[in-house]
Amino acid sequence: MIKGHADSRVMSRIKPAKVARVGIVGTGVIGGGWALHFLAQGLDVVAYDPDPDCERRFAGMRDNAWPALEHLGLKPGAAPDRIRFVSSLEQAVADADVVQESSPEVLDSKIDILARIDAAAATDTVLLSSTSGLRMTDMQVKCRHPERMVVGHPFNPPYLIPLVEVVGGERTAQDAVDWAAEFYTAFGKRVVKMDREVPGFIATRLQEAIWREMLHMVNAGEATVRQIDDAIRYGPGLRWAILGPGMIYHLAGGEGGMAHVLDQFGPTLKWPWTRLEAPELTDELREKLISGCEDIAAGRSIADMIKERDAYLIGMLKLLRGPPPGL
* Per-residue confidence (pLDDT) for residue 327, from 0 to 100: 56
Contact 180, 150 (CB under 8 A): yes
Query: What is the block-wise mean pLDDT of the chain (327 residues), using blocks of 10 residues?
Result: 65 92 97 98 98 96 93 94 97 98 96 98 97 96 98 95 96 97 97 94 92 93 96 88 82 80 73 76 86 86 85 82 63
Q: What is the pLDDT of residue 325?
A: 58
Contact 97/105 with Cβ under 8 angstroms? no
Single-letter amino acid, residue 271: W
pTM for the structure as a whole? 0.86
> Given this model, what pLDDT does residue 281 score?
81
Domains parsed from the chain with CATH numbers:
8-193 (3.40.50.720), 203-320 (1.10.1040.10)
Q: What local confidence, expressed as pLDDT, does residue 96 receive?
A: 98
The per-residue pLDDT for 301 is: 87
**Which residue, among 60, 58, 77, 80, has the nearest Cα to 69 in the 3D structure?**
80
Q: What phi and psi values does residue 47 have, to the nearest 5 degrees?
A: -125, 145
Given this model, what pLDDT does residue 5 score? 58
d(Cα 41, Cα 18) in Å, to the nearest integer?
A: 12
Q: What is the pLDDT of residue 112?
A: 98
| CA–CA dist 19, 165 (Å, integer) | 19
- Contact (Cβ atoms closer than 8 angstroms) between residue 55 and residue 151: no
Which strands, in side-by-side order, build the sheet including 98-101? Answer: 83-85, 44-48, 21-25, 98-101, 126-129, 149-154, 163-168, 190-193
Tens-place pLDDT, residues 209-221? 999 999 999 999 9
Closest C-alpha among 155, 219, 225 to residue 190: 155
